[in-house]
Chain A
Amino acid sequence: MDVTFKIKRYDPEVEAPESYWQDFSLTLDDSATVLDGLIKIREEIDGTLSLRCSCRSAICGSCAMRINGHAGLACKMQVRLAVDDDNVIIIEPAGVMPVVKDLVVDFDMFWSKIMAVDPYLRPEGPEPDAEYIASNEAMLHLSGVTACIMCGACVSDCTVMEVDPTFLGPAALAKAYRFTADPRDGDAQGVSRDRLEALNGPTGMWDCTRCAECVEVCPKGVAPMDRIMALREQAINAGFDNTYGARHAEAFSSSLEHSGQLDELRLVPNTVGVFNLPVLLNMAPEALRALTHGKLPPIIHKKIENADRVRKLFRRVEDPDRS
């Protein structure tokens, strides 16, 4: 198979370094992975091409990079599946993290966020006589999230970290969930209140936009975004419900419960608080502009037909006394 690798390169040691594209044409076996191709380029065409790899089996997490615009493991992706109609494949370093050289990025930010969530068990209360015991069922559901190999693909393509590197991000939040959902962590009921309180703050669980990029690019099925949503549910259930995020979810569902549809006009004041004048005034120009363009949602919020049926459904499903 004759293919062209279009690689984004960067050499920090030249004067006024800037990234540039370079094409490499080579012949590969049909079964070759993207990593096989890159190694061949490095060994046979240009020994200065820098990249990280180790296991070549999608285990070590070293070789994450952008392949055709999306993060993935170079050793897991077959060239034959990645090339376009002209047999071209586009390779870039992972996003968000600073590039060191060519396809090598600086992982300091990644590790500091993992460290920030205390990635170890923190049981509270008296120690048991022997080991901490967790049932099989209580641990089984964690097998997905513990499959993380810390390759950084999710961080690379996170739409929030792209604009705000202070966000804890998908990898660290998924790691945090791995502990909040562990029955041995936290109090006797397995509720990790301290963790949830910390993650509930700025740069934490509520800053995720639910864009699902991380779910899509994760090579191990960790589904970080789904873990972040689970964290939100855990935080609300643990009583941390006084954030804009939690109130947004609450205001949204109460609107739905009462009319079967979204009351957009009241969603903002109900989220930020009816008496939160600074925030409301901050949104006032948008509201005024919407009004003058005939766009403001109806003041009298309409209900769907038989809205009472939706209300009853909410009551039934949300009834805490139900087993």
Chain B
Amino acid sequence: MKYAFFPGCVSRGGCPELYPAAKLICQRLDIELQEMPGASCTGAGVLQEKNEFLGDTLNARTFAMAEDLGLPIMTICSTCQGVMSQANHRMKSNPEYLAKVNVELAEEGLEYNGNAEPKHLLWILIEDYGLEKLEPLITRPLAGIRLAPFYGCYILRPTNALDFEDNPERQNSLERLIETLGATVVDFAGKTRCCGFPILTINEKNSMAMVGKHTAEAKDLGADAMVTPCPLCHLNLDAFQPKASAQAQRSIDLPIIHMPQAIGLAMGITPKDLGLQRHIVSTKALITKLGVAAG
């Protein structure tokens, strides 16, 4: 299996532990990754606020590069996934719009033919790879560990752009993955809500209230950690959890784990190689409960 790899900015920026962790587990899964060094940021929905056409054209540019490579695109970020899917949806459902985009791409000698289907590693594992093939690679099942899923808005909504109708399994993909890793799913209302990251610099109080609400809810239901396929959610839920905890006037202390780190732990990769020591909320108690040396 081979994919054009679109890691996104945050997996190498604010969450530098994610990129190597994702590459490490793909190696174990025998998934080959081809980088696209000329691909730009998706615009994260922020550029789209200013200029949607420009944002869509940037994504079409990446899609065209992947088409030239003849490879499907892999993302490791819920936000990248959602923004790409939305752009793709607009272009695929409107040939005139796509043609307008292609006028811009032609200036660089690129053309997008509408064949890209960007997929998050989470979806790839379930739809392309198969959880049954992942199972034999689980050498250290996360038995006894209680994990709360946290999806990130963009990989859930709007469902029409994300093809949920044709792929209903996307609705509970994260829970299924957690079960495959041998852990117990902590189901809670906040799992499909917003982490608050997009308004962090705009309305910090509300952003922190969201972090506090969701992490505290999972913690109170007995979660040992929260798992997310979205590094932006991770940034807010992890790096800003101390502030959210102060605002909520209660202790929370819930480690937030990137999805590839959870997979890596279950594959027997050391916590250190997965970058778990780089988190703001300490992962030590989790590692101790897992019964492995930190590495």
Q: Which residues of A contact B (CB under 8 A)?
A: 69, 159-160, 162-164, 167, 206-213, 215-216, 229, 232-233, 236, 243-245, 248-250, 252-253, 256, 260-262, 264, 267-268, 271-272, 282, 285-286, 289-290, 293-295, 297-298, 304-306, 309-310, 312-314, 316-318
Contact = CB atoms under 8 A, between A and B. Distances in A.
A317 B57 contact: yes
Interface string B225-245: 000000000000001101100
Interface of B: 9-10, 13-17, 37-41, 43-54, 57-58, 61, 104, 107-108, 153-154, 156-159, 189, 193-194, 196-199, 201-207, 209-210, 213, 239-240, 242-243, 277-280
A285 B213 contact: no
Nearest to A286: B239
Contacts, number: 172
B215 to A, nearest CB: 13
B104 A264 contact: no
A122 B45 CA distance: 31
Given A159-B210, A207-B199, A256-B41, A249 B13 contact: no
Nearest to B204: A282
Contacts of B37: 304-305
A295 B50 contact: no
A215 B206 contact: no
A295 B73 CA distance: 26
Most chain-A Cβ atoms within 10 A of its Cβ — which of B40, B43, B48? B40
Given A248-B46, A261-B41, A262-B13, A207 B203 contact: yes
A289 B239 contact: yes
Contacts of B15: 295
Contacts of B207: 209
A159 to B, nearest CB: 4
Contacts of A207: 199, 202-203, 206
7 contacts: A159-B194, A160-B206, A162-B193, A253-B47, A271-B202, A304-B40, A309-B38
Contact of A309 (B17, B108, B157, B278): B108
Contacts of B156: 212
Closest 5 pairs between A and B when the two form their complex, measured CB to CB: A212-B157, A211-B194, A163-B209, A262-B9, A260-B40
B201 A267 contact: yes
B197 to A, nearest CB: 8
Contacts of A268: 201
Contacts of A316: 104, 107
Given A211-B153, A313-B57, A304 B13 contact: no
